[in-house]
Chain A
């Protein structure tokens, strides 16, 4: 059994917070530049220019690209032959606390959803743990802003509604979100599972790199068809009208009950921040 020191997990998480807030992953940079090339609307191109200029400035000066530095959503894959001294969740939360403090990120978490007092340090993080073979710890941080998260939706369809029902729900969600989700967006779609797991499927879908298709050709084709339809909605960058409403659509599917067809759509704004580390 490998024992991973508490301080190593804290330091890695802190660094992920710093990194994610200021620098986009390479695939999102590429998606923004490609969008600038293929956007037809002059106003849409102006918006994309502004976003590119903003994101370059943020990376160069090491300042947050967006003031909404998000909920710290952490996916932890922990090897079955390893354990974290002092507790994995405790270490991740301490790393978030230090990262948000040291990088002057905004603290956006209230401790209670109705009484709404800010916790002051952006904790607690949302931590999803998977046990995997090996003795390593892989951490993926997805700082999730409120604007796009608020426009995300879930529903329980009837199985008879099938692929058509899923397609309609995805399109309706992007349409209703409009400018509020800060397009161009990445559309994470969860299909199947149960009421509690379908939202997590949709969030996991956001971790896949832009341009990477589902390994199953059936879902890969559905992703491409949905992306085409979403861009046909004409919302465009920031909803002012245009040809690029989404960078990509990612679907994650899971087995489900014979009576059910759960569907969730988790929207990700163009500031699609993801950072990864291995301890």
Chain B
């Protein structure tokens, strides 16, 4: 089957500029190592801290943030269902975090032009995981700890240890855009 032959790259975090620059829109990757989990409220706090000149609870240089708000873990489980949330809500905060060394973001859906520009300027990538595959993706998270903002509940800042977490590069550091390019071959209807 063709899909079995599609190349998949294995990547370990943290990421260097060289790793980021080698990635292209449409690349399928399996990510292992530490990634951080954060969504709206944690992003707001991080950017507010930086605006006040404070240091963040984690050093973002070379790191990857996953946009996720999991369901509560059942007793004995590492984490509940943990698929990606819509990335656009983080657009207002992402350029600031990218300027502080963030190298990757995992979510789903379109990003703003300012984020795409920041990817090129700071050498970083935006990836998507399959939305609605929260049960499957949770299996790739081997350990989950709250590292800051515990009062935010499911919106706290998490530290995840992941093993072969599947994602696809949507926007690379060279201007490549899977959302724009991928549909061209299948588009028969163009709106006026």
User: How extensive is the interface on chain A, given as a class?
Assistant: 35 or more
A74 to B188, CA, bound (A): 38
Which residues of chain B (1-21) have a CB below 8 Å from chain A? 2-3, 6
A25 CB contacts on chain B under 8 angstroms? none
Q: A264 to chain B: which residues have CB within 8 Å?
A: none
* A236/B191 in contact, CB under 8 A: no
> Closest chain A residue to B185 by CB distance?
A241
Q: Which of A10-18, A61-69, A206-214, A248-256 contacts B (4 or more CB under 8 A)?
A: A61-69
Q: Which residues of chain B are near A241, meaning CB under 8 Å?
A: 178, 181-186
B91 smallest CB distance to A (angstroms): 12
For chain B, the count of residues having a C-beta within 8 Å of the partner chain is 50
Interface status of A232 (Cβ within 8 A of chain B): yes
A241 to B137, CA, bound (A): 22
Contacts of A61 in B (CB 8 A): 135
| Alpha-carbon gap, A42 to B185, bound state (A) | 12
Assess whether A105 is interfacial by the CB under 8 Å rule: yes
B131 contacts which chain A residues (CB < 8 A)? Answer: 66, 147, 179, 182, 238, 269
* B192 nearest in chain A by CB position: A168
Bound Cα distance A62, B129 (Å):
22
Q: Interface 1/0s, chain A 92-132, versus B by CB < 8 A? A: 00000000000011110000000000100000000000000
A51-80 residues with Cβ-Cβ distance < 8 A to B are: 51, 53-55, 57-58, 61, 63-69
Q: Decide if A243 touches B83 in the complex (CB within 8 Å).
A: no
Which residue of the partner chain B has the closest CB to A105? Answer: B71
Please name the residue on chain B nearest to A116 by beta carbon. Answer: B41
Q: Which residues of B contact A58 (CB under 8 A)?
A: 81, 135
Asked whether B178 lies within 8 Å of A240 as measured between CB atoms, the reply is yes
Instruction: Kindly specify which of A83-91, A154-162, A170-178, A195-203 makes contact with the partner chain.
Output: A170-178
Q: Please, which residues of chain A bring their CB within 8 A of the CB of B86?
A: 146-147, 150, 180
Asked whether A236 and B182 contact (CB < 8 A) given A67-B134, A178-B110, A180-B110, the answer is yes
Listed residue (A106, A230, A242) with the most chain B CB atoms within 10 angstroms of its CB: A106
Assembly CA distance A168 to B190 (angstroms) = 11
Given A57-B135, A67-B71, A179-B109: A239 and B6 within 8 A (CB)?
A: no
Known: A168-B191, A232-B188. A106 touches B179 (CB 8 A): no
Could you tell me which residues of chain B, from 114 to 141, have a CB within 8 Å of some CB in chain A? Answer: 128, 130-139
* CB closest chain-B residue, reference A235: B183
B70 at the interface (CB under 8 A from A): yes
**Closest chain A CB from B52 CB (angstroms):** 22
Question: Is B132 in contact with A64, judged by CB distance below 8 angstroms?
Answer: no
- Bound Cα distance A171, B17 (Å): 40
Instruction: Kindly provide the distance from the CB of A218 to the nearest chain B CB, expressed in whole angstroms.
Output: 22
- Contact of B135 (CB < 8 Å), options: A42, A65, A240: A65
Is B26 within 8 A of A43, CB to CB?
A: yes
B-chain residues with CB within 8 Å of residue A4 when the two chains form the complex: none
Task: Please indicate the chain A residues that have their CB under 8 angstroms from the CB of B109 in the complex.
Answer: 147, 178-180, 239
Contact B68 A54 (CB under 8 A): no
The answer to whether A64 touches B80, judged by C-beta atoms less than 8 angstroms apart, is yes
20 contacts between A and B (CB under 8 A): A45-B3, A53-B133, A54-B132, A57-B135, A58-B81, A64-B71, A64-B80, A66-B134, A67-B82, A67-B83, A105-B72, A175-B191, A233-B187, A234-B183, A235-B183, A236-B186, A239-B182, A240-B26, A241-B183, A270-B132
What are the 8 A-B residue pairs with the smallest beta carbon separation, nearest first?
Answer: A241-B182, A234-B187, A232-B189, A234-B186, A180-B109, A232-B188, A234-B183, A54-B136
Residues of chain B whose beta carbon lies under 8 Å from any beta carbon of chain A: 2-3, 6, 26, 28, 68-74, 80-83, 85-86, 88, 108-110, 128, 130-139, 153-154, 166, 168, 178-179, 181-189, 191-192
Starting from the known contacts A54-B134, A106-B70, A269-B132, 17 additional A-B residue pairs (CB-CB under 8 Å) come to A42-B6, A45-B3, A54-B130, A64-B80, A65-B135, A67-B82, A67-B85, A106-B71, A118-B153, A171-B189, A179-B109, A179-B110, A182-B108, A233-B187, A234-B185, A238-B108, A240-B128
